[in-house]
Amino acid sequence: MNQAFSRCRASFVRSAYRFLNNAADAEDAVQDALLLAYKHIGQFRGQAQMSTWLTAIVSNSARMQLRKRPRQIHMSLDEPIGEEQGHTMSEQLSDCRPSPEDECQSSEFRARMEELAAQLSPPLRKAFQLRDLDGLTTSEAAHILGVADGTVKAQLARARVKVRRLMRRASGSQRHARRIYTTLPSMSEK
């Protein structure tokens, strides 16, 4: 029996591996099969080769081991979950926070808006700050400023027009500065 087992060991491991898809589990199944074959050697009738009988025991041992494994539940990431079925697993796992790049751009944009707002007259600057930069409602801004809602709306509209104008002027001067810089002779040409 030892000779039959040693000659066919690799074949036994491959056979068990086909069921279990795990090398360590396949080795265990072969070990269990060898132990069972040793215990039941008296049942071997000699109607087939010893290797065929051992292969059948290895296959049965691998199947038994497979049955003992806990069942794994596979779930699609796009399948609706929860009581309302309104969310998917991928939505639950994804990070909805802004990326560091988005945070940096947002911070730069806010700093630029504050610079432009500083160039507005005090009433327009306050309305713009409260509504567009701080995110307050028109009613909340009107209450803080002690004016009517319509006044805040009018000041905000004028402030936005001026901020757009200042942005265009700033971007135009940057383009103009780039044009001048690229047309200047370089230091190596002098």
What pTM does this model have? 0.45
- Tell me phi and psi for residue 87, to 5 degrees: -125, 155
Residue by residue, what is the 3-state secondary structure of the chain?
Answer: CHHHHHHHHHHHHHHHHHHHCCHHHHHHHHHHHHHHHHHCHHHCCCCCCHHHHHHHHHHHHHHHHHHHCCCCCCCCCCCEECCCCCEEHHHHHCCCCCCHHHHHHHHHHHHHHHHHHCCCCHHHHHHHHHHHHCCCCHHHHHHHHCCCHHHHHHHHHHHHHHHHHHHHHHHHHHHHHHHHHHHCCCHHHC
pLDDT tens digits, residue range 110-123? 898 899 999 999 99
Per-residue model confidence (pLDDT) at position 158: 95
Give residues with Cβ within 8 angstroms of 46, minimum separation 6.
none
Q: Which of 51, 47, 44, 62 is nearest to 6 (CA)?
A: 51
Strand partners, 87: 81
* Strand bridging mode 87-88 / 80-81: antiparallel
Q: What pLDDT digit, counting tens, does each position of 128-186 carry?
A: 999 998 999 999 999 999 999 999 999 999 999 999 998 888 877 666 445 543 443 43
What is the structure's pLDDT at 188? 37
The pair of structure tokens assigned to 173 is 């001067």
* 65 vs 69: CA distance, rounded Å: 7
- Tally of CA atoms within 13 A in the half-sphere of 167 that contains its CB: 12
Other beta carbons less than 10 A from residue 182's beta carbon: 7
- pLDDT of amino acid 143: 94
pLDDT of the residue at 51: 78
**pLDDT tens-digit readout, 1-45:** 566 556 678 888 888 888 888 888 889 998 988 888 888 888 887
